[in-house]
Amino acid sequence: MAEVIPDYCIDDPVDCVFWERGSNDTYVIRCANARYSMRIYRHENYPRDEIDFEVDALNYLHNQGFPVAFPIARKAGGYVTEIAAPEGVRYVLVTAFAEGSSLECESVDEFRLYGESLARLHEASQGFTSSHKKKDLDLNNFIDDSVKSITPFLSHRPKELELLNQYASDARDEVARVGEEGMDVGFCHGDVHGGNAHLHNGVLTHFDFEECGFGYRVFDLATFKWAFNLEDSNSEKWLAFVEGYESVRKFSAADSELVDTFVLLRHIWLIAFHMRNADDFGGELTSDGYIDHQWRKLKSFNREGIGAALTTEGDYTKVVRVVDNGPAALSGEINADDRIIAVGNGDEMKDITGLPVDEVVDLIAGPAGSTVRLRILPANMPAGSPTKVVTIVRSKLRL
């Protein structure tokens, strides 16, 4: 680094410290009067052409006046330095540092601000082109490539592989039903999970564009919804995000209809990303425990259930809220703070006292159109009070 950093157009570098390990390794260069970010791309993770595409995109957005962590030029020209690491060639990119901190996104105002900022990013990038090639954010990426990456790790889990392929097929069919011609296509950040932007003096500056590309912009919208677990499309926070976005540019009708499908595809994409990098990130990302956890998440995103958010409270599974117009809400029999003490599939009623909430969700979820019975201890009633059994027909829900 003592040899690399002086090659960049920065003044008086003092030191270079490790900041974060993620898709790549990021360091902070401290100078006398400024800070810069330095990313070292992992060996063979991102081809040079894709990095040059990212540089072109950042320069374009910066020149449009949009706040991004823009690239810093090398004194000899260009932006990317090639270094010989023990594992092979790695690339270095230095950018401006995004001062400030990530939004906590606890208030509706912050969700509105983020929606507006993402819309401005999409708007500012409208004229962007590059002579360099980056993988498109399309169904080939989200479905074909992802399933291909995951499949080798599920050879001993045929049921999970079958479910993955079914979800992927259903998502493709849903996009075909809605129609790609109505979707907003253009430049996307690719990783809008909330942590890749810092707020400073009222300005939200975006960074970490290594997953950027041309493609379906609904993926950016869905990634944000996925990251903050905004399960209910009528939730105040999601509506504030949408309001902020639409203060700059409108959701297309197709994107609005498909956002929940892309929430599911975002999670499939993440599993594929983890498994492709398991040798580097750690073998636990291919373990049976990891698969169990992620497939419970996939089932929850597919939302063939009763439309209720659950949590654990002591030995009980408690209803946090019911989703508007979902089966639980429409039954009129289940309310927030009710406790579920048994779940029935077929003739059996299984006592779920003390079970983890993930296992309870597994028992409650099932194919749309099938029935599940729940034994309910009403809210605020002490243990031992009379219970009731509620029968609900599962349906596929919009998140």
Structural contact between residues 252 and 184, judged by C-beta atoms closer than 8 angstroms: yes
Q: Tell me: the pLDDT tens digits for 327-350?
A: 898 899 999 999 999 999 988 899
**Domains (ranges, CATH) in the chain?**
5-96 (3.30.200.20), 108-302 (3.90.1200.10), 304-396 (2.30.42.10)
b/e code 382-396 from CB counts within 10 Å (16+ = b): eeeeebeebebebbe
Q: Kindly report the number of other CB atoms within 10 A of residue 215's CB atom.
A: 23
Q: Tell me: the pLDDT tens digits for 84-117?
A: 999 999 999 999 999 999 988 889 999 999 999 9
Q: Tell me: the pLDDT tens digits for 233-244?
A: 667 899 999 999
Statement: residue 399 has pLDDT above 50: no
* Encoded tokens for 267: 């999670």
C-alpha of 144 from chain center: 18
Residues 6+ apart with CB under 8 A from 240: 108, 109, 111, 112, 115
∠167-172-175 over CA atoms, to 5°?
Answer: 125
Mean pLDDT of the region 153-164: 96
* Encoded tokens for 66: 């949009």
Transcribe 38-59 into DSSP letters.
EEEPPTTTS-HHHHHHHHHHHH
* Encoded tokens for 11: 């003044």
